[in-house]
Chains A and B, each alone.
Chain A
Amino acid sequence: MMKATVYVTIKQSVLDPQGVAVQGALHSMGFQEVESVRIGKYMELTLDTNDRAEAEARLRMMCEKLLANTVVEDYRFELEG
């Protein structure tokens, strides 16, 4: 068994309205040091395999095909176990 953690984030070139709203909220609470907020997704996947290379290749496919929309999102993942 391996555990994969996938992070999907909005590309730097694309405006993240949620992040902007949260930044505004933080500012109004007095956290003036917040220069920017970007909101993304965090996913945990449990994989029934021990082959690291294969798991990586297949995770990349999962990200490209479904987990991220590469028009506006970037992804990265970590593999454990």
Chain B
Amino acid sequence: MKFAVLVFPGSNCDIDCYKAVEDVLGEPVDYVWHTATDLSAYDCILVPGGFSYGDYLRCGAISRFAPVMAEVAKAAEEGKFVLGICNGFQILTEAGLLPGTLRRNMALKFRCHDTVLRVENNNTPFTNDYAPGEEITIPIAHGEGNYYCDEETLERLKENGQIVFSYVSNPNGSVIDIAGISNERGNVVGMMPHPERAVDKLLGSEDGKRMFTSILKAWRDRHDTATVR
């Protein structure tokens, strides 16, 4: 299974994502520059955190027009796995690949600490290795992670099981404590917390590891392969 880690000017979690794939899964992974126009070689696209284009105008507003984003939309359409983390989540909402948007944190502070997340839906390619309702520790680091969508969209998210993670203790004012959501089809997920920063006990938590193992498992299930590391 082949992973791409997108790199925009101002991305700063790209190396963490790359290392997480390398260390947890040992699967091939490439950095892919924002100007790339072909992602056909990849099975999973990771849109990392950071401050792409300096967060100018709005977080993710400029990055969504980078050439590579048309390819991300295509990959999503083809059913490939797309995971946006932090700034990656903001980019995916700006791009319209996920509903809603991320506003300034309610307390107007940049929050950087561990959070406890509840796995609301473990029936996704990104969370199948977690138990339903399981509580996991994953760090956050953001100033604009306050998820917002209108009532109608929120109802749809609930009905379709698109709420993937919620905060046990809301750090930013997100509607109904949302930490991560998926698209309707479930192959695109965006989340503010950083699973790639929680892949080893030395980092404080290894609860993020299972997101990566889930993705690989989902891919293997889908492709019915018996690839062994």
Chain A interface (Cβ within 8 Å of chain B)?
13-15, 17-18, 21, 66-67, 69, 71-72
- The interface residues of chain A, by DSSP majority, are classed as loop
Number of A-B contacts (CB under 8 A): 34
Task: Please measure, in the bound complex, the distance between the C-alpha atom of A69 and the C-alpha atom of B149, giving whole angstroms.
Answer: 12
Q: Which of A21, A66, A72 contacts B103 (CB 8 A)?
A: A72
Give me the interface of B with A, judged by CB distance under 8 Å: 57-58, 61-62, 65, 93-94, 100-101, 103-108, 146, 148-150, 173
B101 touches A71 (CB 8 A): yes
Tell whether, in the assembled complex, residue A18 and residue B100 are in contact, meaning their CB atoms are under 8 Å apart. Answer: no
Bound CA span A72–B90, Å:
14
Let me know if B104 and A71 touch, CB within 8 A: no
CA distance A13 to B152 in the complex (A): 14
B65: chain A residues within 8 A (beta carbon): 66
Q: How far is the CA of A19 from the CA of B222 in the complex (A)?
A: 48
| A residues in contact with B149, CB < 8 Å | 71
Interface centre among B58, B65, B149 (most CB of A within 10 A): B58
Contact B105 A72 (CB under 8 A): no
**Partner among B93, B100, B105 whose Cβ is within 8 Å of the Cβ of A17:** B105
Asked if B57 contacts A67 (CB within 8 A), the reply is yes
Nearest-CB residue, chain B, relative to A66? B61
